[in-house]
Structure 1
């Protein structure tokens, strides 16, 4: 493994339950967390110790998304629907009751909000009318994660039926491909910044690399001991990080599909329990992680 230097810059506290959701703000200096305590908190990378409460909901928050165009934060409120926060005004401007299911992932695309729920339904919300445009039933199992390739106009969806489904956004969510091979729920999914590659990670602890012209599998790696919960590319696409139920963060070389560094409790005073989300900040180039241990860690990687 390479000589990457890992420096833990901050451990942030304030949540009273497992932290499940993490999103970079429209201004990437800020990021947002959501937890089992129903709290949504804004954090400032320039003054990370000063968390600011954005919302307090009666149920767990598993999903957050940002609308960069409108400077909004979309909160997935489990068993209810979505709440839309104007970050400039720091207040809720509208909400929509959608479901009695858990909301695992939200993506904003132009004038639409895409909501993936525990019953395998993709709900498309029209922002202008603040109403549901359509429901797309993809599976009897949960939609866990989504990512968009904007140039290709492809939507990738990871599900608990062990598949990754690819839909064509330019043709009103027409199915393109159904990717199989994982043996358990797909929790982690991301297109590379150049959109040439799609990486999926699952509860089976495997990473799969798919080239996106034909969606054929290029590589399969047993990457962690337990479930891979999330993955995030560095802005330039050269590296990506994964996080796992095995309490570790791993740093990978994208082109070589090679493990470069393990960040964990023993070596780096890492998280003590499952790490649920990780993002590679486009503001500071630091890595941010959130965990069942109720803390947020900020990591500087010298690559």
Structure 2
């Protein structure tokens, strides 16, 4: 594990509450964060110290999604709905009230937006028409996280009922039900090669699923506490996980072996739960956000 070099480049502050949401911009030089104080901030990896306030909402923000083709930022405003920012003009162009629940994740697929909420519903929004298309009631428990396989037109959804459900993005029909986790599923990602789906959650374990058969191929006890999120490096060779145990871990995507632990003791890491991580496609740095109200940017040499 010692071959990988990790150096902390920046600690960014400015949010007044726990930071929950993280998304890369259509220009990956920029990224966006959302927090419990309702603030959404744009950060520049070239000059990261000065964040720019994009939106200030009355309720907390758990979910952000950037449509890189349309250059739109979708903000999940808890207990209310969706706010849409034109990133070229940096102004809100429309909003839609859709829920009285927490919004845990948002995914943009073509001209549709999928919104996952605390009542187990996926709301499908027509982006062009700016209207609700349908509601998919998939569980009695929260829909926590989603991942998109563009090639096979699959949307995987992790729930607090411990399951993962896969639906077709064209007709929204359910295609797979994956069981195996013993608690809520918080983390989901398809590999860039799209042959593997990785899931993680409150049971602190990672599960690996073959996307051709959706059979489980491996399980790894990965953290001491809940796994909150995971992100692949652009080339698909490595991925990172973050946890309530305050650590970030770097993994080999093929062997599933742990390569490096980034934590407070060894790398001046976060002091509380790490909620999201992003492996930047701009400069391959790792960005992390935490309950400690800070953002960390890490340089990793593998």
- State the TM bucket, normalised to the shorter chain: over 0.9
**2:281 is matched with which residue?**
282
**In structure 2, C-alpha distance between the alignment counterparts of 1:5 and 1:128, rounded to whole Å:** 45
**Secondary structure in structure 1 of the residue aligned to 2:225:** coil
Q: Is contact 2:289–2:295 with CA below 8 Å preserved after alignment? A: yes
- Per-residue deviation, 1:50: 1.1
**2:247 is matched with which residue?**
248
**2:158 is matched with which residue?**
158
- Per-residue deviation, 1:128: 1.3
Q: How many residues get paired?
A: 302
**1:191 is matched with which residue?**
190
- Per-residue deviation, 1:215: 0.3
Alignment of 1:223-238 (within 5 A): 223-238=222-237
**In structure 2, C-alpha distance between the alignment counterparts of 1:276 and 1:127, rounded to whole Å:** 28
- State the Cα deviation string for residues 61-95 of structure 1 (Å, max 9, x = none): 00000111111100000000000001111110000
**1:62 is matched with which residue?**
62
**In structure 1, C-alpha distance between the alignment counterparts of 2:289 and 2:135, rounded to whole Å:** 31
Instruction: In structure 1, list runs of 5 or more residues that go unmatched.
Output: none
**1:25 is matched with which residue?**
25
Alignment of 1:77-116 (within 5 A): 77-116=77-116
What stretches of structure 1 move > 2 A for 4+ residues in a row?
none
**2:38 is matched with which residue?**
38
- Per-residue deviation, 1:2: 4.1
**In structure 2, C-alpha distance between the alignment counterparts of 1:149 and 1:2, rounded to whole Å:** 33
> Normalization by structure 2: what TM-score?
0.99
Q: For the aligned residues, what is the CA RMSD?
A: 0.6
**Secondary structure in structure 2 of the residue aligned to 1:104:** strand
**1:209 is matched with which residue?**
208
**In structure 1, C-alpha distance between the alignment counterparts of 2:230 and 2:249, rounded to whole Å:** 9
Instruction: In structure 2, list runs of 5 or more residues that go unmatched.
Output: none
- Per-residue deviation, 1:3: 1.2
**In structure 1, C-alpha distance between the alignment counterparts of 2:128 and 2:265, rounded to whole Å:** 50
- State the Cα deviation string for residues 248-277 of structure 1 (Å, max 9, x = none): 000000000000000000000000000000
- Per-residue deviation, 1:105: 0.1
Q: Is contact 2:25–2:32 with CA below 8 Å preserved after alignment? A: yes
**2:141 is matched with which residue?**
141
**In structure 2, C-alpha distance between the alignment counterparts of 1:255 and 1:70, rounded to whole Å:** 33
**In structure 2, C-alpha distance between the alignment counterparts of 1:262 and 1:67, rounded to whole Å:** 32
**In structure 2, C-alpha distance between the alignment counterparts of 1:217 and 1:128, rounded to whole Å:** 37
> Normalization by structure 1: what TM-score?
0.99
**1:169 is matched with which residue?**
169
**In structure 2, C-alpha distance between the alignment counterparts of 1:129 and 1:176, rounded to whole Å:** 27
